[in-house]
Amino acid sequence: MPSRRGGKAMATTKRDFYDVLGIKRGASDKDIRQAYRRLARKYHPDLNPNDKAAEESFKEISSAYEVLSDKEKRAKYDRYGHDWAFAEQAEAARAAGGGGPRGGANYSRTYDFSDLNDLFGGASGGFGGGGGFEDLFRRGGRGGARVDANIPGQDIEQPTTVSLEEAFSGTTRLISMVNPEGGAPRRIEVKIPAGVREGSRVRVASEGAASPFGGPKGDLYLVISIAAHKAFERDGDDLTIKLPIPLHVAMLGGEADVPTLKGTKLKLSIAPETQNGRKIRLRGQGMPHLGGSGHGDLFAEVNVVLPTHLNDEEKQLFQRLAELRGQAGTEG
């Protein structure tokens, strides 16, 4: 049963975010991402239709990841616990000298407290007890800094993976957002621009969490991961592909077809005596520049393929080559 104080029901204690994701407090960023992806796949509403328990678990997992995946939010959480967001607003209001983090805004209402000691002491019922920071902000505290009632809700980060081809051409993702008020999840189509990189953040305005103060919603950010490609390697906006070249073409010169991410092939001239491992630049055939014009370059790395299953005539030719090269070395 929820406890009561002053005739008002208090919310039950939330689970520790680290426990929610099943990780230790010293977990690395990679550990956090892996834990979230594993649990999100298990409890995602699309995979568990009409399952309220799974939906609540997914909501809890998403909230935990939103905080722990952000270094600043995580540091606040480690210090203040579940009241971290309201302590942050308190500090921001104090730093602004009473004008709130959006100084100059017209406030629909204000909340007052004397200092952060109030947040840990009498006005809030102590850290982790009573109504917490959120209850303090909703009730209003004792005189002091003014908090902007138009403070926006928290931003939400949603990881998503795209292929290298999708990163090259641009793509879309249909994101399911849990409705905190119940009901079916909201579906948001997000356009991912061409040229996104590992770690790029695609912003969708006003699709984040609701503000507890009646302000605007936060934003949604898609955090991009690029899936490894079996043929192309990416470095910034440049691409590299290993290009198999027969020995006789590398020695005598010729042409080779170079695949591109567009699905086309380019004719590449191979100069005589091209060495194994040489990189040949094809300008402007790499990844598009994100938010700009033009492309990076494509590098074809020569991979000389030695012949196998030689017949007698071919063996004689190589033997003759060896004799000629040996004579040249002796004469030199």
Lowest-pLDDT choice from 126-130, 131-135, 319-323:
126-130
8 contact partners, CB below 8 Å, separation of at least 6: 131
- 158-189 residue pLDDT tens: 899 999 999 999 999 998 887 666 667 888 99
pLDDT per residue as tens digits for the range 207-248: 888 877 778 888 999 999 999 999 999 999 999 999 999 999
Question: What are the chain's domains?
Answer: 156-226 (2.60.260.20), 232-327 (2.60.260.20)
Cα 195–chain centre separation: 14
Q: Measured in whole angstroms, how far is the alpha carbon of residue 252 from the centre of its chain?
A: 47
Question: How much is the pTM?
Answer: 0.59
Type and span of the H or E element at 246: strand 238-246
Asked if 236 and 198 count as a contact pair (C-beta separation under 8 A), the reply is no
Give yes or no for a contact between 193 and 222, defined as CB atoms under 8 angstroms apart. no
The two beta strands, 171-177 and 254-259, are: unpaired
Helix (H) or strand (E) holding 216: none
Q: Which of 300, 302, 286, 290 is nearest to 234 (CA)?
A: 286
